[in-house]
Amino acid sequence: MNPTETTDTAARTPEELPGVVTRLFRGVVYAEADEKVWQSLIALESQARDYVAVLGLDLILDESEGYAFLRSREDPDGNLPRLIPRRRLTFDVSLLLALLRGRMLEFDTNSSELRLIMTEQEIADMVAVFLPESSNQARIMDRLGANIKKVVELGFLRRLRGQTDTYEVARILKAYVDAQWLEEFDARLADYRASLDGSAGAASETAAAPNQDEGEHP
């Protein structure tokens, strides 16, 4: 650690803690976009963990990837009030997230680059394998466009500046679609295809979707 880093860390005080936690309640903190808050959070990480733990929350912080957010603790007995309401993603959106996560896993394995960039056509080609055959290609593309827009709103895709059809896959996706969920993905493909063909009930549309809390998305 260089002297500047030591001085900067020492300058962080517990008085900054409420501000840091309040910022976490508003959404994901990114090292690049929220540099001042990020530095305070790193210096006060243990205090921040203890602070939110009292509220039944966990601090998820990945210093190497540069993001942090709050997640509700599992509470099987239902004794804790849920400060961040849980919701289910739609089937189409959860499928897209799973495919993007799988693509990121492949990218990290085979590439030395840090940023996964995909065009809308590449995303469409990736999803097309799982879509039912249809003569109404325009309708399928409209549906895909709506799903991509939703994933952008959730913060898992970022449109590149000046390029309307090119996106960066946000690395925080790794924290939401975990390895265990991916391992089970192949076993769920038959259910996905059945749902897309309309042979499964509406309940299956969200059965395989990753859980997500309202306040946890980027």
Which domains are seen in the chain, by residue range?
Answer: 3-84 (1.10.10.2250), 87-213 (1.10.10)
For residue 184, is pLDDT > 60?
Answer: yes
Please, what is the Cα angle at 62 between 58 and 66, to 5 degrees? 125
Look at residue 189 and tell me whether its pLDDT is greater than 80.
no
- Report the pLDDT averaged over residues 58-65: 91
Helix (H) or strand (E) segment spanning residue 71: strand 67-72
Residue 166 · residue 120 · CB < 8 Å: yes
Distance CA 217, CA 10 (A): 31
For the stretch 96-142, pLDDT in tens is 988 999 899 899 999 888 899 999 999 999 988 777 666 567 777 78
Say yes or no to pLDDT of 47 above 90: yes
What value, to the nearest 5°, has the Cα angle with vertex 114 and ends 61 and 90? 65
Q: What is the mean pLDDT of residues 87-95?
A: 76
Inform me whether the pLDDT recorded for 181 exceeds 50. yes
Average pLDDT, the chain: 77
The per-residue pLDDT for 168 is 94
